[in-house]
Structure formats: structure tokens, C-alpha cells
Amino acid sequence: MTETNALPVTTADLYDERGDELQSVSLQFQDLGGRAAFSGPVRTVRCREDNGLVKSVLNSPGRGAVLVVDGGGLLTTALMGDLIAAAAVANGWSGVVINGAVRDRQALAALPLGVKALGSNPRKSAKAGAGEVDAVLEIAGVAFRPGAMLYADPDGILIEY
């Protein structure tokens, strides 16, 4: 892995080399950030239509980690926009994977941050901070455990336990 947390090889090559050591996420996320390939240890947030915890976590030191957010696959409100994503960059996060929506797509595409999400919605979410941080998440049959390694590129997402 380089200093920018880009993959040294593609996820397809990594899977060819390591096979069943890795879990492949079948859910089709869109690539929305300025960095198409990214990797890092997993941190997690579970929330529904409330991005208070997402904002809080991404405003803390990322140390090259990837935040995985389980928004339940809902596209009714955005769980991250340009201001929170800019904070993620400033705090050293490698990327964000959101099982839900984001907003400010053009601004996200200009940031040096990996962003994968199901889609976008300009509607902002609640800010109460409801949800859970660093819980084990299951998305598309794959467990996202805090500390596991995540590798992502335009082909998809791989998880190494």
C-alpha cells in the first residue's frame, strides 16, 4: 500500500492471488469520490437517516482507515456530503463506504477520498447522533468487523479478516 492508500494491485488480481482468504461484496456500489482505489482498516457506523455519528467519527483521526456506514440501504436522505467528506480528508481517512445515499456528488468527486455509496439524494439527514459506532455490520452477506482490512476499486470491495 502506498502513502495515498491506493491499492498496489487491483481487487481482481488480489482475489486471484488470495481467493477464499477474502470476502467479496456483491452489492453494486457507485464510485463517487476522487480516489477510485483505496484500502485501510475498517471502522463502522450503523445509522438510519441520521448522520450525526458519521460526522463525529470522520472528524476524528482516521489514520488511513475506511469508514463503513450501514444506512440500511435507504436512499431517502444523504448520510454524507461535501463538508463531512472534506473533514474526512483533513483527518486522514482513506475512504468511506455507505450502504445508503450521499449528496454533493460533484464536490465529492473532486476530493482525494474513496467514496462508494448506493446513490445520492440532496435531502440532508437528521443530526441527533442516533446509531452505533464500531459494531459488526452485515451488508450483502459480508461481515464488516472493525479492524478488518478493506480493499476497494472500481471492480468492487474485498474484506480480509
**Residue 95 annotated as binding?**
no
Taking the C-alpha atoms of residue 135 and residue 47, their distance in angstroms, rounded to an integer, is 11
Matching residue, cell 475498517: 42
| Residue 157 in marked binding region | no
Is 103 annotated to bind a ligand? Reply is yes
50 among annotated binding-site residues: no
**CA–CA gap between residue 148 and residue 26 (Å, rounded):** 18
CA distances from 62 to 14, 22, 52, 119, 139 (A): 24, 23, 17, 24, 22
Ligand-binding annotation for 104, yes or no, is yes
| Of the candidates 11, 21, 47, 28, the residue with the CA atom closest to the CA atom of residue 161 | 21
Residues 6+ away with beta carbon under 8 Å from 106: none
82 a known binding residue? Answer: yes
Binding residues for Mg(2+): 104
Binding residues: 81-84, 103-104
Binding residues for substrate: 81-84, 103
